[in-house]
Amino acid sequence: ELHTLLSDQMEALSKAVFSDVQEDFCSVKKILSRFEEWRECYSESYHNAYISLCLPKLLNPIIRHQLLAWNPLKDTSGDFENLPWFTAVETFCHGHGHEELEHTDRQTLSSVIERTVVPKMTAYVELVWDPMSHQQSVCLTDVCHSLKEDYSVFEGEHSKPVKAFTEALVRRLRSCVDEDVFIPLYPKKFLEEASSPQRHFRDQRFWTAVKLLGNMGKWDLLLPESVLKELMLDKLLNRYLMTTLCSHTLSNNAVYACKKIADGLPPSWFKGESTCLPQLHNFRNHIVQKVHAICKQQPPTDPNTRAAVVDLLKVLSTIRCHDSIMAIAEKYHYEDAIYSHQLLNPETAWV
């Protein structure tokens, strides 16, 4: 409620910012109409003046003013593409929908976004964003993927605002993993009792870390792969999650935990691969051991056993452990599952 009140007050105060400015100079559309007239009448002079390089800086104050109420962490905040400045800049850069203008201003929209929208997002990353929040992470990554696909932001050599944004992202994610993730280590006697408060707290922290892993995976293709692998696999998975998995105190949740961990890993890491990543060897070995333990407790032909084993084989398929899949299938006669669930061709959806 306090945040909403402050936002309303800020929006009310912001309306007075351009109250003493002539209308022709506080409207993006009207400002660009002057430049459009110059471009049409005196094209050579217009281009010699490098106007396409000047426009982002000129329009910056007005656009930032219109972006005051825009929150990239909320899916109900409205899209920045619906704001008046965006339509005006898009029309100026690309024409009125029926022509594609052949001039240097075609890149102006991307430049404007990099100088206005991206710095706004950087501030939210540094001051507001909680990487543990699934909703905030989904909203923020959706905006970033849209900027990448529609306006080539994050493509090629990064501009200063984009570099600042990605650096802020990495810092925030790194601090979250290093400082906010905590999975306590208790003596086994406290964890063997399913209703013990120690086990309840440990499991709560474990699932919070699993959720963070999935949130971080959404930054695939936006942040360097090496950085994501370091944070997600070297630190979060192998330092924290594997300790709990290997404790064998997640009982029936163990299979589900493995599935959730695999679901959080970026698919692009495994596309076209047939061997397991080195950082996933411990995870693979744990899954294989879990399969052997399940089949030792109950006959491999038991329907419950088969369902659990197939789920774990699917996880091995996701992380491309084909050799392990073949060895398990041969040992427990699950060859039919390989073909019915396309375990050796995981890029085709299984049933």
Q: Quick check: 28 and 63 in contact, CB under 8 A?
A: yes
In this prediction, residue 351 has a pLDDT band, given cuts at 50, 70 and 90, of: very low
pLDDT digits (tens, 9 = 90+) for 64-93: 988 988 999 987 655 899 999 999 999 988
Question: Residue 232 and residue 220: Cα distance in Å, rounded?
Answer: 11
pTM of the predicted structure, to 2 decimals = 0.88
Tens of pLDDT along 173-197? Answer: 999 999 999 999 888 888 888 889 9
Tens of pLDDT, residue by residue over 114-160, are 999 999 999 999 999 999 999 999 999 999 999 999 999 998 889 99
Q: Which long-range contacts (CB under 8 A, 24 or more apart) does 98-107 make?
A: 103/39, 103/47, 103/52, 104/47, 104/52, 105/39, 105/51, 105/52, 105/55, 107/52
Per-residue b or e along 95-108, where b marks 16 or more CB atoms closer than 10 Å to that residue's CB: eeeeeeeeeebeeb
Write the burial class of residue 5 (CB in 10 Å: 0-12 exposed, 13-18 middle, 19+ buried). Answer: exposed
